[in-house]
Chains A and B, each alone.
Chain A
Amino acid sequence: MILMVAEQSNGVLSKSAYELAQAARQLQGELPNFGEVTALVLGSGVAAAASAAALLADQVLVADMPALGQYDAEVWASAVAQIAGEGEAQVVLIAGSRSGREYSPRVAVKLDAPLLEDVIRLQCESFGEGAGVVLRAEHYTFLSRVTERIETQAPAVVVTVKPGSFVAAAAGTTPAEQLDVDLQLPQKRLKVTGSIQEKTGRIGLTEADVVVSGGRGVGTQEAFAELVEGLADQLGAPVGATRAVVDAGWRPYAEQVGQTGKTVQPKLYVAVGISGAVQHLSGMNKSQCIVALNKDADAPIFKITDYGIVGDVKEIVPALIAELRK
């Protein structure tokens, strides 16, 4: 059995579930009789998400319980490991979201399984009784500068999948069977006392074709709103920011691009007043076309730039907006 944990948010199936389904179908195709693809939906009030998942998998297991109303690493790991153990899953696919990457190591330890983290490619080499499954994968290392090929062999393997690395699977037309499951869940030990919404008013940073990001070079919060948001509006793009900008409180953390923020891979990435620290590049260096605007010709960002202008963003950006309006 290939188990995929279908993430949902507020009852809506996440994009990552479609990407996992694609990875699962591919694995299934590589080896006949690899078993069915089972989707697991965890949460409270998740009927709609479960129905959507039923169009992606061969079978859907639904744990709809009040205790699953809020994500918790220990609870999620326990739930997934129980299902994987009982169903003798050979592969457990988990989204490479922040939470997925947080609880997946616990699942691996519980199952005594190896963990392939944040994979961008996945291939099943062989599977035999006793020998377990041989999986090969690729993932990025050294702040996304190196692509590493890894292999593991075990009766069960836990895999997290980097968001955006697999195309979203198309939903089928005949819904698969849904089964309710009962789980023994542990007590939560990390008590959440408050939730700070650092959501951006702008959506779709990780999915957009064009991203306009600003750095400290933009100068002030007001200038950021005028220049970076102005250019983003002109290009119909969401806004990204560097850590320096988030730390300064100009922009919410949800917009941060980089090692400790989001990873984006748009067709066009525009970096406005960004120096190009390796931790920032790690979140955007796979973009198809990179444009940089910086007054310092030696700024590291220019090393990975396709088109750039050396100049003051206070002059360049308004000129660009005017030119794009033409």
Chain B
Amino acid sequence: MRIITLVRQVLDAEESVRVRGGAVDLEGSKLVMDTMDEYGVEEALRLREAASGETPVEVVALAVGPERAEESLRTALAMGADRGVHVVTNELLDAIALSAVVAQVARGEGADLIFCGGQQADWDSQALGAATAERLQWPQATWTSQLERKGSTLVGKHEVDEGSETFEVQWPAVVTTQQGLNEPRYPTLPNIMKSKKKEIRKQPLEAFGIAPRLKVLGSEIQVKERKRKILDGKDASAAAAQLVKMLREEAGVVA
């Protein structure tokens, strides 16, 4: 069994976003592997560990992005992924265009299972997993919070419009992750050392014949001015009285 797990390099959640010249400027910001992708890498590693004895599982981490995206691939390898594939590009690809790249790599690798983040933390997209599944004519399970392999079947739980469902699906399939799926491991020092020798295959995007389907015209940060009237609550009733007064008279949001 071969598992492809997608990794994207995104802005660290603690960092603030900056826009310069109508585009998000990541220069000098801390970039990390998308948390949603950490769940995918971790889950792939768990499936590999659970399969010991049976058919071996290989975990391939895949990134599509600029040179720096290799850092996230290295993180995946340090967590335990077997090797990496890096499709190098500075082009901003939307999810539909990107899914064509992922599907081509998956076909070339003869992949049986793909993990993808439930939502990408940079473009807030939820489309990549489903679009890839459609291109491969595979089923998909989105927002997966529990997963287990039973032979050729994946048994799990995922979140839907209201509440959640338990499901069964035969692989090959695409699984998108959700917080709660697992607790991603930290790379240990020996694994970091070992990962340096692991292979990352580089391919230029040009080889895929893909063009973006969307054009970004501009980006802006809409800062809503906040009043930031913060009261000291040592005297709880006095603070409460003052807050309610402001909500009634100033903000007009309480009757």
Chain A interface (Cβ < 8 Å from any Cβ of B): 71, 73-74, 77, 97-99, 101-106, 108-110, 113-118, 136, 139-152, 154, 189-199, 210, 235, 243, 247, 252-254, 259-260, 267-268, 277-279, 285-286, 288-291, 293, 295, 297, 302-312, 315-316, 318-320, 322-324
* CB neighbors of A among B88-106 (8 A): 94-96, 99
Partner of B94, one of A115, A189, A308, A320: A115
| Nearest Cβ on chain A to B114's Cβ, whole angstroms | 14
A142 pairs with B95, CB closer than 8 A:
no
**B125 on interface, CB distance cutoff 8 Å:** yes
CA distance A121 to B154 in the complex (A): 39
CA distance A114 to B253 in the complex (A): 41
| Nearest Cβ on chain A to B162's Cβ, whole angstroms | 6
Q: Which of B14, B129, B134, B142: most chain A CB closer than 10 A?
A: B134
**B191 on interface, CB distance cutoff 8 Å:** no
**B197 on interface, CB distance cutoff 8 Å:** no
Task: Evaluate whether A277 and B13 lie within 8 angstroms (CB atoms) in the complex, with A114-B94, A260-B179, A267-B253 already known.
Answer: yes
* CB neighbors of A among B216-240 (8 A): 216-222, 224, 226-234, 236-237, 239-240
A190 pairs with B139, CB closer than 8 A:
yes
Sort A-B residue pairs by CB-CB distance and give the 4 closest, nearest first. A311-B233, A114-B213, A319-B240, A189-B139
Partner of A315, one of B96, B127, B128, B236: B236
Which secondary structure dominates where chain B touches chain A?
Answer: mixed
Determine the chain B residues whose CB is within 8 A of the CB of A113 once the complex forms: 96
CA distance A267 to B139 in the complex (A): 41
Task: Evaluate whether A199 and B142 lie within 8 angstroms (CB atoms) in the complex, with A115-B95, A151-B214, A290-B226 already known.
Answer: no
B166 pairs with A108, CB closer than 8 A:
no
Partner of A260, one of B119, B229, B237: B119
Determine the chain A residues whose CB is within 8 A of the CB of B140 once the complex forms: 73, 102, 190
A141 pairs with B219, CB closer than 8 A:
yes
B163 pairs with A198, CB closer than 8 A:
yes
B253 pairs with A310, CB closer than 8 A:
no
B240 pairs with A309, CB closer than 8 A:
yes
| Nearest Cβ on chain B to A220's Cβ, whole angstroms | 19
B96 pairs with A309, CB closer than 8 A:
no
* CB neighbors of A among B106-141 (8 A): 118-119, 121-131, 133-135, 139-141
Closest to A189 in B: B139
B165 pairs with A192, CB closer than 8 A:
yes
Determine the chain B residues whose CB is within 8 A of the CB of A136 once the complex forms: 217
| Nearest Cβ on chain B to A157's Cβ, whole angstroms | 9
CA distance A259 to B123 in the complex (A): 12
Which secondary structure dominates where chain A touches chain B?
Answer: mixed
A308 pairs with B230, CB closer than 8 A:
yes
Q: Which of A195, A277, A318: most chain B CB closer than 10 A?
A: A195
Task: Evaluate whether A146 and B168 lie within 8 angstroms (CB atoms) in the complex, with A117-B125, A190-B139 already known.
Answer: no
| Nearest Cβ on chain A to B150's Cβ, whole angstroms | 12
**B159 on interface, CB distance cutoff 8 Å:** yes
Partner of A311, one of B94, B95, B232: B232
Task: Evaluate whether A154 and B213 lie within 8 angstroms (CB atoms) in the complex, with A142-B124, A291-B243, A307-B247 already known.
Answer: yes
| Nearest Cβ on chain A to B49's Cβ, whole angstroms | 24
**B161 on interface, CB distance cutoff 8 Å:** yes
B247 pairs with A291, CB closer than 8 A:
yes
B167 pairs with A190, CB closer than 8 A:
yes
Determine the chain B residues whose CB is within 8 A of the CB of A77 once the complex forms: 134
Determine the chain A residues whose CB is within 8 A of the CB of B122 once the complex forms: 141-142
**B193 on interface, CB distance cutoff 8 Å:** no
| Nearest Cβ on chain A to B167's Cβ, whole angstroms | 5
A316 pairs with B94, CB closer than 8 A:
no
Determine the chain B residues whose CB is within 8 A of the CB of A309 once the complex forms: 230-233, 239-240, 243
**B203 on interface, CB distance cutoff 8 Å:** no
CA distance A190 to B173 in the complex (A): 10
A324 pairs with B127, CB closer than 8 A:
no
**B50 on interface, CB distance cutoff 8 Å:** no
A98 pairs with B96, CB closer than 8 A:
no
| Nearest Cβ on chain B to A319's Cβ, whole angstroms | 4
| Nearest Cβ on chain A to B251's Cβ, whole angstroms | 5
Given contacts A109-B99, A114-B94, A139-B124, 13 further A-B pairs with CB under 8 A are A104-B127, A106-B133, A141-B219, A143-B13, A192-B166, A193-B165, A196-B163, A289-B251, A307-B229, A308-B228, A322-B237, A323-B240, A324-B244
Closest to A187 in B: B139
| Nearest Cβ on chain B to A308's Cβ, whole angstroms | 4
CA distance A142 to B234 in the complex (A): 37
B178 pairs with A260, CB closer than 8 A:
yes
Partner of B163, one of A108, A195, A259, A318: A195
Determine the chain A residues whose CB is within 8 A of the CB of B131 once the complex forms: 105-106, 108-109, 115
Closest to A194 in B: B166
* CB neighbors of A among B72-96 (8 A): 94-96
Determine the chain A residues whose CB is within 8 A of the CB of B236 once the complex forms: 311-312, 315-316, 318-319
Closest to A287 in B: B224
